Structure 1
Amino acid sequence: MDFTLDPAFDDLRLMVRRFVADHIVPLEDDRANYNEFENIRLDLRDRMRGKARDAGIYAPQMPRQRGGLGLPMVGQAAFYEEANRSIFGPSCLNCAAPDDGNMRLLSMVARDDQKDRWLQPIIDGQVNSSFVMTEPHPGGGSDPGMIQTSAERSGDKWIVHGRKWFISGAAVAKHFILVARTDPNPDETRRHLTAFLFHADQPGWRIVRRIDNMGPDEHGGVCELEFNGLEIPDENRLMEVGDGLKATQIRLGPARLTHCMRWLGLSKRCMEIAAEYTSRREGFGIRLADRESVQLKMGELAHAIQIGRLLVMHAAWKLDQGDFARKEVSMAKVHVADTLHKASDVAIQLNGARGYSKDTVLEWIYRYARCARIVDGASEVHNMVLARFYGKEGQDFWNWGG
């Protein structure tokens, strides 16, 4: 086992660190740089993306021939962690959800002509994208097999009816990936779903509402959508008929792990803010940083973050070997989501009223962190996955092989 980072990845990681520190973190202090949903203004984001391209740190997950850096998952883990030292970092470097996962899926499974039309504009920053899967009860959520939205074939096109909700990025997206039911009577093969591509300007669908939530919102928020006769040409079908569940699995596994990569960066930022404040704040004749109670909290955080980094790197390595790494991704997802929530909570506590205010980004991160234990599968679902693996593998759950 060798935990040494490839020198090329380490050099790139340090480039990202410097760029984020010099160009992105300072943007957080000016409220004029935020949109009404507490994210970076899109016009400012796009200017920063130009700078990131010039610096050679843009679209790390995409192939070089399409303008990316072509990093494997292990390289992405180091990159994303540094990118999310700032709350604006991933968006400025084009490695933020939901575009990140959508680009990855299209890069892996789309035809070349589909990549030119649907993927390349996302890479280039010309459009935002959205993945349309989750539905209100009794439709699909953590279990996409329950999806009710239907796509019925009519000649060389598909007619879509149904409802989706909590669809990330939908309010600003132009390119959509839709998962719909194409077989009303699925068998045990679960080939009743198919993935499709559609453009925001096509008729037959609408945004019912942008769902208010704790925020802060990613660009485009989370929306409820209604489909009432959307027509999708068969040429805009993604993969084969019946491959919809496979498409979701291809997308969601790595996407869960890239969430964790970014969350580790935010967790470290929380510690950084807490460390800076406690090093200079005194009370009753002693610096907060010199108090044992504070040191215990900081030590626990450092411990939890490092465990998360090891879990993420192991899962990333397995994905690079061609493994689905379902068990490893679930372990990382549960632990890192908990760690981010703990890191933001502890940092706010150590900063006192300052942390609860908007004088730092801690309250922003705290609200964002609460979502981490829900998105891309609630923690309870991932623990259930792990229990099933243990039930099947027993003591081999902890094997050393690969």
Structure 2
Amino acid sequence: MPHHTLPAEYEDLRMRTRAFIRDVVIPAEPRSGERLNDVTRDQLQAAAKAAGVFAPHVPREYGGQGLPLEYWSPIFQECGYSPIGASILNCMAPDEGNMHMLGLIASEAQKQRYLLPLAAGTSRSCFAMTEPHPGAGSDPAALQTRATKIDGGWSITGHKRFTSGAEDAAFCIVMARTQGHGDSPAGATMFLVDMTNPGVRLGRMIHTTDRAISGGHPHVHFDDCVVADDAVLGEVGLGFRYAQVRLGPARLTHCMRWLGLARRSLDIALDRAERREIFGSPLKDLGLAQELIAQCVIDIETSDAIIETTGTLLASDPKAGSALSSVAKVHCSEAIYRVIDRAIQICGGDGVSDALPLAGYLNEVRPFRIYDGSNETHKWAISRRASAHRAREVAAGAPYLADVDAEFEFDRDAAVVGRGL
């Protein structure tokens, strides 16, 4: 069925992506619990380039398909139908978010040095913001890593953790606190740091339930890591502003990819319910199974709708879109988990075994309720924004609706006429 919002050229890309994922990528998926090896990845990425589906989100001048942000979701969902699909098509975290930010903020020289090879799939990257307690985690303002101005550059010192992809990365985008310098304000600054820099040291690997992100989630130490002035990404002191440029779309692309995995999980459950008979009838005809299936469809469709709305808003109003991406992130991370969990329930014992991939899918999506800011943190921010917005409305003259002691006049005759009585 054609997608209801995609222009013809992007609908063609979606259908070619769907065919590539199902015909080429899925047969090459590693066994449950195993990681995709580099040789297979390189072969599949070459095939994706030949098929014209590689790097859908990257501008054409950097080797991608030039897909506008508001149309990312349908194509990213097709990629996400396989756990390795986004990696093969080079739209997997953290590289996808780094590419997007570099395209918007980096200098032309930085784009040539870092964005071009990243977009081509010949290098990988990581994003270093999360720190051990009491450093930055869900609260970026707790940032502990420091960058000190020196002659001709900067010295970065700090300890990061959950630096996804760092083990395989060629470079890192590092968030560090900086003092005011010249006309630049104090705050946070982003730096582009080669992982071969002698001041960079990989630390202990953090073993998590997910396996899709190549390069793991290790600790990374910056020990008097010296970089030149041209390593500053954007402007000094504006790192927190740039983080929102990256994190809003990055939250949403996680929703897109994993919604594709939720769709595959439901397909597995539907196939099972079609052919499995129990108590003398197909599983699909039993009310309890129908309830699980219906709730899956509801979660998928509501997730799809909020992703589409948020993507459109991000493209036109990044600040408002970033705020709505918090709502999308919370809803989708919980809804997608529910879909896969129900699919497991429908499939019974096989659902929790390695006979089907569903248990592995559940392991992949569970961390999303923590990654990119815990859901609890996002709910706190969502609540604060709602309260502040309503307070501004009332201050501007909107009626205060909770005053139970106010006396309201009621014109009975007018009410009767209004009802036509």
CA 1:334 to 1:396, structure 2 compared with 1: closer, same or farther past 3 Å? farther
Alignment check: 8 A CA contact 2:167 2:202 kept: yes
CA 1:315 to 1:287, structure 2 compared with 1: closer, same or farther past 3 Å? same
Report SS of the residue matched to 1:167: coil
Quote the offset at 1:395 in angstroms: 9.3
Report SS of the residue matched to 1:206: strand
The aligned amino acid for 2:19 is R
Q: Distance in 1 between matches of 2:390 and 2:251?
A: 25
Q: Distance in 1 between matches of 2:289 and 2:121?
A: 43
Q: Which has the larger radius of gyration?
A: 2
The aligned amino acid for 2:128 is V
Tell me the residue number matched to 1:4. 5
Q: Distance in 1 between matches of 2:323 and 2:226?
A: 38
The ranges of structure 1 where at least 4 consecutive aligned residues each deviate by more than 4 angstroms after the TM superposition are: none
Q: How many residues get paired? A: 388
Alignment check: 8 A CA contact 1:85 1:268 kept: yes
Q: Distance in 2 between matches of 1:74 and 1:120?
A: 23
Q: How does 1:64-103 map to 2 (within 5 A)?
A: 64-103=60-99
Q: Distance in 2 between matches of 1:190 and 1:336?
A: 36
Q: Distance in 2 between matches of 1:307 and 1:89?
A: 23
Tell me the residue number matched to 1:298. 293
Q: Distance in 1 between matches of 2:299 and 2:115?
A: 36
Report the RMSD for the aligned CA atoms in angstroms. 1.9
Q: 1:128 aligns with which of 101, 124, 127?
A: 124
Quote the offset at 1:353 in angstroms: 1.5
Report SS of the residue matched to 1:214: coil
1:385 and 2:381 are equivalent in the alignment: yes
CA 1:133 to 1:207, structure 2 compared with 1: closer, same or farther past 3 Å? same
Quote the offset at 1:326 in angstroms: 2.6
Q: Distance in 1 between matches of 2:51 and 2:263?
A: 24
Q: Distance in 2 between matches of 1:113 and 1:240?
A: 15
Quote the offset at 1:12 in angstroms: 1.3
Q: 1:163 aligns with which of 159, 163, 167?
A: 159
The aligned amino acid for 1:175 is F
Q: Distance in 2 between matches of 1:215 and 1:330?
A: 22
Q: Distance in 2 between matches of 1:190 and 1:168?
A: 29
The aligned amino acid for 2:316 is Q
Alignment check: 8 A CA contact 1:39 1:88 kept: no
Q: Distance in 1 between matches of 2:79 and 2:391?
A: 38
1:344 and 2:340 are equivalent in the alignment: yes
Alignment check: 8 A CA contact 1:191 1:244 kept: no
Which stretch shifts more, 99-108 or 41-50? 41-50
The aligned amino acid for 1:264 is L
Alignment check: 8 A CA contact 1:267 1:339 kept: no
Q: Distance in 2 between matches of 1:149 and 1:237?
A: 15
Q: 2:370 aligns with which of 374, 378, 392?
A: 374
The aligned amino acid for 1:25 is I
Alignment check: 8 A CA contact 2:262 2:340 kept: yes
Which stretch shifts more, 127-136 or 40-49? 40-49
1:234 and 2:235 are equivalent in the alignment: no
Q: 2:170 aligns with which of 164, 168, 174?
A: 174
1:249 and 2:249 are equivalent in the alignment: no
Quote the offset at 1:287 in angstroms: 1.3
Alignment check: 8 A CA contact 1:59 1:68 kept: yes
Tell me the residue number matched to 2:113. 117
TM-score by length of structure 1 reads 0.93
Alignment check: 8 A CA contact 1:204 1:229 kept: yes
Report SS of the residue matched to 2:90: coil
CA 1:191 to 1:305, structure 2 compared with 1: closer, same or farther past 3 Å? farther
1:363 and 2:359 are equivalent in the alignment: yes
Q: Distance in 2 between matches of 1:124 and 1:58?
A: 9
CA 1:55 to 1:78, structure 2 compared with 1: closer, same or farther past 3 Å? same
Tell me the residue number matched to 1:310. 305
Report SS of the residue matched to 2:388: helix
1:199 and 2:200 are equivalent in the alignment: no
The aligned amino acid for 2:79 is A
The aligned amino acid for 2:47 is K
1:252-287 superposed Cα distances (whole Å, 9 cap, x missing partner) = 111001111111101111101100111111122111
Alignment check: 8 A CA contact 1:80 1:261 kept: yes
1:131-153 superposed Cα distances (whole Å, 9 cap, x missing partner) = 01100111111222211111111
Alignment check: 8 A CA contact 1:9 1:78 kept: no
Report SS of the residue matched to 2:144: coil
Alignment check: 8 A CA contact 2:244 2:322 kept: no
Tell me the residue number matched to 1:319. 314
Q: Distance in 2 between matches of 1:389 and 1:52?
A: 42
Quote the offset at 1:396 in angstroms: 9.3
Quote the offset at 1:334 in angstroms: 0.7
Quote the offset at 1:191 in angstroms: 4.1
Q: Distance in 2 between matches of 1:204 and 1:396?
A: 48
Alignment check: 8 A CA contact 1:60 1:70 kept: yes
Tell me the residue number matched to 2:23. 22
Quote the offset at 1:8 in angstroms: 2.0
Q: Distance in 2 between matches of 1:19 and 1:331?
A: 32
Q: Distance in 1 between matches of 2:392 and 2:318?
A: 17
TM-score by length of structure 2 reads 0.89
Identity over the aligned pairs, expressed in percent? 37
Tell me the residue number matched to 1:400. none
